[in-house]
């Protein structure tokens, strides 16, 4: 049965579907010994031989890995980075499969980050149409008034585009009014979105942590540590 090459690569654990498209465009993928660079090519896994960097790719040989990491501040969520800063994958030990982060967390943001080699799941979880809730605890400068909170909830314009409606509630205030703690829930995953939204209401983020993705919660996982997801959690993610 034929399927698109990038989808096959994602399901075989090579990379997320978007990243697989980049790998194809870069000429790193061959089908039956020939480099393929055009998007949308269909292959028959039962008949065609696919290689990435000249290594055969097969779904049969792929063990799927699903990990929840409590990302510390000071780590990037890309595999390699021009400034040589430490990457989240450096925190994962004893996993032979090539895993990659599901979405991103900023360098200076901590919290729940999923890593997997299931490229198809990554594609679904990061695609805008799926609207997976992401919950954050943010320490903000100052205390937003009700007008600022309502503005945040309706959506604000960042980078020239209005965000979707979001949720925010103040859960703690410092007596001197210098800082407050807020729970924030967004559906999108735009670059530094929570920080930019808070800047738009004139209450910038001092500290930010993601505590949940959908119904998956960080719980008592310690910073810098990780665990493999349970079968129940994996099924939940695939149903989203």
> Closest by alpha carbon to 73, among 111, 99, 101, 104?
111
Q: What does the alpha-carbon distance between residue 22 and residue 19 come to, in Å, rounded to a whole number?
A: 5
Whose tokens are 């790998």? That residue is: 23
Q: What does the alpha-carbon distance between residue 171 and residue 72 come to, in Å, rounded to a whole number?
A: 23
Give SS3 for 91.
helix
Q: What does the alpha-carbon distance between residue 13 and residue 31 come to, in Å, rounded to a whole number?
A: 17
Whether 106 is catalytic: yes
Burial class (CB in 10 A: 0-12, 13-18, 19+), 104: middle
Question: Which of 48, 106, 145, 172 is labelled catalytic?
Answer: 106
Could you list the active site residues? 106
């Amino acid at each position: 049965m034929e399927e698109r090459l990038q989808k096959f690569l994602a399901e075989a654990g090579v990379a997320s579907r978007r990243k697989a498209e980049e790998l194809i465009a870069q000429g790193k993928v061959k089908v039956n010994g020939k480099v393929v660079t055009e998007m949308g090519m269909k292959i028959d896994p039962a008949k065609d031989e696919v290689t990435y960097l000249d290594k055969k790719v097969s779904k049969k040989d792929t063990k799927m890995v699903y990990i929840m990491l409590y990302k510390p501040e000071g780590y990037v969520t890309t595999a390699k980075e021009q400034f040589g800063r430490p990457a989240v994958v450096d925190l994962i030990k004893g996993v032979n499969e090539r895993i990659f982060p599901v979405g991103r967390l900023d360098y200076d943001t901590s919290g729940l980050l999923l890593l997997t080699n299931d490229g198809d799941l990554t594609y679904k979880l990061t695609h805008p149409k799926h609207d997976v809730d992401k919950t954050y605890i943010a320490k903000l400068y100052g205390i937003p008034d009700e007008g600022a909170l309502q503005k945040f909830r309706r959506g604000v314009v960042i980078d020239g585009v209005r965000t979707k409606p979001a949720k925010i509630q103040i859960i703690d205030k410092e007596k001197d009014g210098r800082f407050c703690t807020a729970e924030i829930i967004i559906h999108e995953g735009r670059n530094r979105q929570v920080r930019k939204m808070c800047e738009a209401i004139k209450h910038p983020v001092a500290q930010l942590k993601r505590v949940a993705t959908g119904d998956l919660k960080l719980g008592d996982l310690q910073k810098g540590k990780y665990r493999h997801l349970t079968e129940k959690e994996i099924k939940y993610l695939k149903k989203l």
